[in-house]
Structure 1
Amino acid sequence: MSVLFMFPGQGSQRAGMLHALPQDPAVAQTLAEAGDALDVDPLDLDTERSLRSTVATQLCLAIAGVATARALIRQDAAPDIVAGLSIGAWPAAVIAGVMDLHDSLRLVRLRGQLMEAAYPSGYGMAAIVGLAEPEVSAVVSQVHQAASPAYVANLNAERQIVVAGSDAALAQVMALALARGASAATRLCMAVPSHCPLLQAQAQELATAAEMVASQAPRLVYVSSSRARALLRADLIVLDLAWNMARPVLWHDTLRHAFERGARLAVEISGNGSLTRLARDVFAQGMVLDAGSGLDAVRVRIQREQRDDPA
C-alpha cells in the first residue's frame, strides 16, 4: 500500500499558520533554512496583513508544506507518492528531492512577485459547484471577451470547477452558473487569475530562472497536477513547476492517477481540509487523513497501514 502526500494551493492559507506548526526538530530546521534562503524571518510572513500578498501567501504554503512533511518523515511516516495543487507542487517537489528548499523558495518568491505585479487588482478566481466541466466551459465561452477574459482553470472534482479571469467576467460566470443549476458559485481568496493563459509571459520568465537551479530525479513518485501523470525526469518537473501557473489544474485526474499507481492512503499536508474533502471522491472511506488534525494520529495510522499491508 502506498501513501500519498497532498500539498494544497492558495486559498488554504490562514493567519498564524507557520506559528501553528508542530514542535518538531524538522520544523525548526525548515524555518531556519527558509530564513537563510529569504533573508527574512518566515514567522513574519503569516500575519493577516502579510497574507494579503500573493508572495507571502505562496511562501507560507511552501514552507508549511515542507516543514509538516519533513516532520512526518522524521517520525518514520514517509510518503511514497507526492502531488501538489498549484503552489503545492513546489513543496511536493522538495519532498521528492527534485530541488532543495533554498532554491525552491527563491523561485516561489519570484513566482509570487511575477503574478502580483501582473495583476495587482481587478482579477481573481471563482469556484462553481454542481455543474460538470462542459457546462462550465459553455458559460465561460459565453462570457469571455478580450477586455473581460474568463477561463476554466481548475478541475478539482467532477462537479467543482474553478474559473479564472477579470472581476467583471467572474461576476457574469457566477450569475449564469447559478441560473443553470449550480449549487454554489463563490469567489476564492485569490487576487490573481491563476492557471490560464493570462500568466503565459510570467510562466516563461519563471521557467528561464528555474533552468538555472540544480535539480535531481525524484526519489518518490511525483505526480504533476497539470498533466495528471507521474513525471520521472528532473528537467520536466522543473518546467512543470514553472509553467503550472499558466496551465489548468487537473486535480481530480491527479488523484485518480495516484490511486492507479497504488496510493491507498491520502494525507493532506498543512491545508484547510479542502483536499481531504476532494480526495474522498477517489479514495475509500476512512483512507483520507488531514495532517491539520494532529501529526501523531497521522503517524500512527500510516505506520499501522504500512505494517498491516500484505504486500
Structure 2
Amino acid sequence: MLEDIDPDLKLKVENWTGVKLTDSLEGYQDSQQIQLSILLLQVSEVDQLKKMGWQPDLVAGHSLGVFGAAYAANVITKEDVFKLVSLRAKLMQSSYPEGYGMGVIVGLSRQEVAEMVKTIHTSENPVYLSNQNSELQNTLSGKLSAIKQVLNFATKSGATKAKLLRVPNPSHSPLMAKVANKMSQEITKLNFLDPDCIYLANNNGHPVKKAEEVKYDLANNLIHPVFWETMIDVALEYNPQISIEFSPGNAFTRLLKMKTDQIANIVLSEMSVSDADFLLNKWKG
C-alpha cells in the first residue's frame, strides 16, 4: 500500500508516532499500523493534488476518514493529525480485547433495525444501531452475542445481507466513551484552524465551519454513528461537479453512484494522481 509513498514522509510519520510502518500483511494485523498507513496514503494524495493547485470545496470522511478530511480542509497540521490517529488506534486496540465488534445489515430500513436492536439490547448484552451508510445499509456495534441475535432477527425479517464485520471493537457506539474521553483530552492541547472549505461532520451529517466543531467530531468520532447517508444528501445540496475518493478502495463512490449519476467520479485507488489532475483539468476547464 505504501510502495509509492515518499520515504522521507514515511520516516517523519514513524518518528512522530514511534510506530514502524512495515507495509506487510503481518504489520496490518496491528491497528496502529493499518490506521496510520491508510492516513499516510491519503495525506500523500492530498498533498500531491494541492501541489497541483487543487483545493476542495467540501470534504467528508467516514470514521478514520475524518482525520484525512480535516487535514485536507487545513484544520490540523500534518504532525498533529498523525499523532492523533496513532493515539486513536492504540486506544481502540486495547479497549475491548475480545467478545465485542460490529455487524452490518443490508436491505432493511434504519427504523426496522432500530426496533430489533431495542428488543435485544440490555446492559449485560448491549447492542447499538451505529453507522448509517445508506438508506438500506446500517451497522451494529456491541457485544457479539447480542449482535448475532439481531443479525438472526434481520435475516428472518428479509434482510439481503446480515453478517459480522471484521472489526474487533464496538466502534461508533457509547461503549467507546473511554476512548473518546482520552481523545478529547489530547485534542484540547492542539491548535486547530477553522476549515477553509465545508467540512461535513460524522456525528450528525451537518456542514461545519468552525474549528471547535471539527475538534468535537474528531474527538468523539467513535461514540457516535457515522451518518454517511445524511452527509451525502447534504453534500448534494451544494451541487458538486466532481467527487474524489482517496485511497484505498471505492466503496463510497459506489454509494454515491446509488444516489446520483450527475457527478463525475475520480477514484484514486484506480488511477494515478497525475491522471486525476488530467481529468480535473478536463472537467473543470
Confirm or deny: 8 A CA contact 2:173 2:225 kept in the other structure.
yes
> Which amino acid counterpart does residue 18 of structure 1 have in structure 2?
L
- After superposition, the Cα gap between the structure-2 partners of 1:91 and 1:30, relative to the gap in structure 1 and judged at 3 Å, is farther
Seq. identity, %: 28
2:2 aligns to what?
18
Where in structure 2 are the equivalents of 1:110-129 lying within 5 Å? Answer: 110-129=87-106
Distance 1:255 1:28, change over 3 A: farther
Paired residues of 1:33 and 1:101 also in contact (CA < 8 A):
no
TM-score normalised according to structure 1 size: 0.86
**Aligned partners of 1:264 and 1:283 also within 8 Å:** no
Look up the equivalent residue of 1:241 and give its one-letter code: L
What stretches of structure 1 of length at least 5 have no aligned partner? Answer: 1-16
1:172 is aligned, of 149, 157, 164, to: 149
Aligned to 2:219: 242
3-state SS, counterpart of residue 249 of structure 1: coil
Alignment correspondent of 2:115: 138
- The size of the alignment, in residue pairs, is 284
Aligned to 1:245, what secondary structure does the other structure show? coil
Contact 1:123–1:191 under 8 Å retained in 2: yes
CA positional deviation for 1:271: 2.4
User: Where do 1:140-219 residues align within 5 Å?
Assistant: 140-219=117-196
1:81, 1:220 within 8 Å by CA — same for their partners in 2? Answer: yes
Distance change (3 Å), C-alpha of 1:40 and 1:112: closer
Gaps of 5+ in 2: none
Query: CA-atom RMSD, angstroms?
Result: 1.7
For 2:98 and 2:29, locate their aligned partners in 1 and report how far apart those are by CA, in whole Å: 12
Corresponding residue SS for 1:165 = strand
Alignment of 1:84 onto 2:61: yes
Q: Is 1:302 the counterpart of 2:280 in the alignment?
A: yes
| Correspondence for 2:18 | 39
1:259 is aligned to 2:236: yes
Question: 1:279, 1:288 within 8 Å by CA — same for their partners in 2?
Answer: no
Aligned equivalents of 1:140 and 1:297: distance in 2? 45
> Aligned partner of 1:305: which letter?
W
User: Which moves more between the two structures, 257-266 or 156-165?
Assistant: 257-266
CA distance in 2, matches of 1:257, 1:187: 29
Give me the whole-angstrom Cα distance separating, in 2, the residues matched to 1:260 and 1:285.
12
Q: Give the Cα separation in 1 of the matches to 2:138 and 2:97.
A: 24
